Amino acid sequence: MALKFTTSYLEDALAVFAYYKKLAERAMDQLTEEQLFATLDGEANSVAIIVKHMAGNMRSRWTDFLTTDGEKPNRNRDSEFEEPPATRADVLKMWEAGWASLFGALEPLTEADLGRIITIRGEAHSVMQAINRQLAHYPHHVGQIVLLAKHYAHDHWQTLSVPRKGSAEFNRRVAAGEASQR
């Protein structure tokens, strides 16, 4: 992410969430439908299952964020790790709905809201703490998605950042104004 000076925690948090959303999408774009649902072993999650879990968490955490507990009574977390959505389109629909919940809850907030108290699983959190909690959680799962995508794409993998053994060329291009530093 490129340097952008801001005194707004919310603006920065939204930018970080958007960055990780896009990173996962760029990784998932490199997968075939079959690879989206593949698992490494019986204990591993597929990319589709990780998306299902993230979307379930986002729906629960961000729906009525300021007024209800972040762990909704109708959430069945365990089921998020069973029966993935049927198709790539279903996975992406679930993905978008989860992120829409997050952005819909956070975009209207103001810096004054950061100290408000909300609950997650009956435990009090400031709004800032709740956001930080998810800024740690979602990138963790995005990393899993990227790792799986890189594994499955193998020789066809398109790097999401500076290619291996490409630092010198990348630095030359940045210095010449030909590439973004991200």
Kindly tell me if the per-residue pLDDT of 118 is higher than 80.
yes
Kindly tell me if the per-residue pLDDT of 139 is higher than 90.
yes
pLDDT at 4: 56
Q: Which of 19, 29, 27, 105 is nearest to 61 (CA)?
A: 105
What DSSP letter does each residue of 98-134 carry, written as one string? Answer: HHHHHHHHHTT--GGGGG-EEEETTEEEEHHHHHHHH
For residue range 148-178, list pLDDT tens digits in order. Answer: 999 999 989 898 886 777 677 766 766 777 7
What are phi and psi for residue 76, nearest 5 degrees? -115, 85
Q: Give the mean model confidence (pLDDT) for residues 64-87.
A: 95
Q: Give the mean model confidence (pLDDT) for residues 2-23.
A: 85
Minimum mean pLDDT among 24-33, 34-43, 135-144, 164-173: which range?
A: 164-173
What are phi and psi for residue 84, nearest 5 degrees? -65, 165
Kindly tell me if the per-residue pLDDT of 90 is higher than 80.
yes
Average pLDDT, the chain: 91
Q: Which fold has domain 9-175?
A: Four Helix Bundle (Hemerythrin (Met), subunit A) (1.20.120)
**Domains of the chain by residue range:** 9-175
Kindly tell me if the per-residue pLDDT of 3 is higher than 70.
no
Minimum mean pLDDT among 80-89, 115-124, 135-144, 155-164: which range?
A: 155-164
pLDDT at 165: 72
Q: How many CB atoms lie within 10 A of CB 107?
A: 9
Better-scored residue on pLDDT, 80 or 175: 80
